[in-house]
Amino acid sequence: MLGAWCKTRTESSKGTASVWGEAGRASLRWLIQRQGPGWTQDFKRHKKYGPVFTVYLGPWRRVVVLVGREAVQEALRGQAEAFSGRGLVATLNGTFDGVFFSNGERWRQLRKFTTLALRDLGMGKREGEELIQAEARCLVEALRRTKGWPFDPSLLLAQATSNIICSLVFRLRFPYDDEEFQALVRAASGIVVGVSSPWAQVRGWDPSLSKAPRQVCTVAAFATQQIQRHQRSLDTSGPARDIVDAFLLKMAKEKQDPNTEFTDKNLLMTVIYLLFAGTVTVSTTIRYTLLLLLKYPQVQERVQAELTRELGPGQAPSLGDRARLPYTDAVLHEAQRLLALVPMGVPRTLVKTTRFRGYTLPQGTEVFPLLGSILHDPEVFKQPEEFNPGRFLDADGKFKKHEAFLPFSLGKRVCLGEGLARTELFLLFTAILQPAVSGLFNIPPAFQLQFRPR
């Protein structure tokens, strides 16, 4: 592995010059650092070589790296169409080939369909909010049943968020003690661990060496079972009950079109992606936010005081309450910033040859927009390694938006579930924080907390 030929260099329009790192180790070290707090080194390279440089991941992959808010925004927003292609995540390539990893006309059609289907099912409307509030009540009741004993909240949190996406995709909600459902949630979480390890990143140097995590099979089997159930019960004359129904109806409508993108394979790939993303992203963020509150009890006390003052004891929060809860909203934003859930960003590719900051980047060039370099940029967020919700409050204590807050990326490939994720984060977090949280065991990635109703 270490003997693989690799080097890094920066290119200019006038030629090529060598840059940081020792051949054979620099790219490996860079990948490993992206799994932890390695942003300081990126900013040093940014200062020395500029915000655009090339990394060679073995002899097979050359990627262009974008560091800092200005470069990333100029590329993904300023030249959104050119940078709209999806790059390679070798361990997942071919698994999420539906709405997530596809390109061209397939991507455009599947993204438009999924966005409209979510909207038709109530996302962004009162029906979607009520769905999340109902799941929040189930989650809080499950937390109460722990009766103050320390426990790892990872599974329960992931089950709550998974139930929300299952309700939208399958019109099903599963009890938390359902063993098949638990297996699905654990598999989705296992995929995250599998693709995020340094070894998985190194295997990505050569796609032929990479294979999907074994947990993908569990998620795929679950998705296949539910799709088959829908095929047997589909009412072609009625409205769609959920996303699978909507996709099957679209397939029936376009079955005579030889170029249709609405196929059995694309349905399965899209469902697998929605299950995976809908299960792990929000639950991971909430889990990290709870951990921060355990570390900073004064922040927890202030959040709960604001909830009690503005909502009253026991009142279920709604999206309409967000404006009255500026500190709570600031805590959620600061937790997302500090976590930087997808620090390297999901790779992009150029759909056409593009001139960018004095460089000519050929069509097909792979681009890593480092979202973490924005969220942890010391020139944008002073002392970025510190947890400071005040960054998102103005002098009057009102919530203040920040243009560098980009955890969901931007441009044409911005996370299609951003609205759903934001709603889930706010409603689930505030529902949990109505009672008290205290007690810490086992530093991440695993920790335990005590849930004590007030």
What is the extent of the structural domain holding 374? 8-452
Confidence of residue 251 (pLDDT cuts 50, 70, 90): very high
Contact present, 327 and 303 (Cβ < 8 Å)? yes
- Above 80 in pLDDT, residue 16? no
Q: Is 2 within the bounds of a domain? A: no
373 within domain boundaries? yes
This prediction has a pTM of: 0.86
Q: How far apart are CA 220 and CA 273, in angstroms?
A: 10
Query: Which DSSP string corresponds to 355-387?
Result: EETTEEEPTT-EEEE-HHHHHT-TTTSSSTTS-
Which CATH number covers residue 413? 1.10.630.10
5: pLDDT strictly greater than 70 = no
**Could you tell me which residues are beta bridge partners of residue 356?**
359
Q: Is residue 350 part of a domain?
A: yes
pLDDT 10s digits, 229-249: 999 999 988 899 999 999 999
Say what the pLDDT of residue 431 is: 94
Percent of the chain whose pLDDT exceeds 70: 80
Do the domain assignments include residue 404? yes
Which residues carry a binding-site annotation for heme? 415
CA distance 6 to 11: 16
Instruction: Answer whether residue 260 shows pLDDT above 60.
Output: yes
Give the model confidence (pLDDT) of 175-212 as tens digits: 999 999 999 999 998 888 777 766 666 665 555 555 66
CA distance 195 to 188: 11
Handedness of CA 31, 37, 38, 39 (dihedral sign): positive
Specify the pLDDT at position 312: 81
Q: What's residue 47's pLDDT? A: 64
Q: Which amino acid is at 337?
A: R
Q: How many domains does the chain have?
A: 1
Is the torsion defined by CA of 16, 20, 25, 29 positive or negative?
negative
For residue 62, what are the β-bridge partners? 56
Closest to 90 (Cα-Cα) out of 123, 44, 57, 115: 57
- Out of 105-114, 313-322, 413-422, pick the least confident: 313-322
Cα 62 to its chain centre, rounded Å, is 25
List pLDDT tens digits, range 23-41.
Answer: 323 454 555 455 445 555 6
Which residues, 6+ apart, have CB-to-CB distance to 213 below 8 Å? 91, 190, 191, 193, 194, 195
Per-residue pLDDT for 164 more than 80? yes
Q: What is the pLDDT of residues 264-293, one digit of tens each?
A: 999 999 999 999 999 999 999 999 999 999
Binding-site residues, in ranges, read 415
* Those residues with Cβ within 8 angstroms of residue 410's Cβ, 6 or more apart along the chain or in another chain: 72, 73, 76, 77
Query: Burial, 145: exposed, middle or buried (Cβ in 10 Å; 0-12, 13-18, 19+)?
Result: exposed
Half-sphere exposure of 374 (CA within 13 A, CB side): 27
Mean pLDDT for 8-36 is 39
Could you read off the pLDDT of 335-354 as tens digits, one per residue? 999 999 988 888 999 999 99
Cβ–Cβ < 8 Å for 85, 103: yes
Residue 150 burial class via C-beta count within 10 angstroms: exposed 0-12, middle 13-18, buried 19 and up: middle
**Which of 36-40, 136-140, 431-435 has the largest mean confidence?**
136-140
Q: Which helix (H) or strand (E) holds 449?
A: strand 448-452
Contact 302, 327 (CB under 8 A): yes
Residue 197 lies inside a defined structural domain of this protein: yes
The rounded Cα 146 to chain-centroid distance in angstroms is 29
Q: What's the average model confidence in pLDDT over 297-315?
A: 90
Rg (C-alpha) for the chain, rounded Å, is: 22
Helix axes 418-433, 126-144, angle to 10 degrees: 40
Note whether residue 1 is domain-resident. no
b/e burial code for range 90-111 (CB count within 10 A of at least 16 → b): bbbbebbbbbbbbeeebbebbb
pLDDT tens-place string over residues 351-388? 999 999 989 999 999 999 999 999 999 989 999 999 99
What pLDDT shows up at residue 95?
A: 64
Q: Residue 210: inside a domain, yes or no?
A: yes
Residue 424 lies in a domain: yes
pLDDT of residue 326: 97
- Residue 52: pLDDT above 50? yes
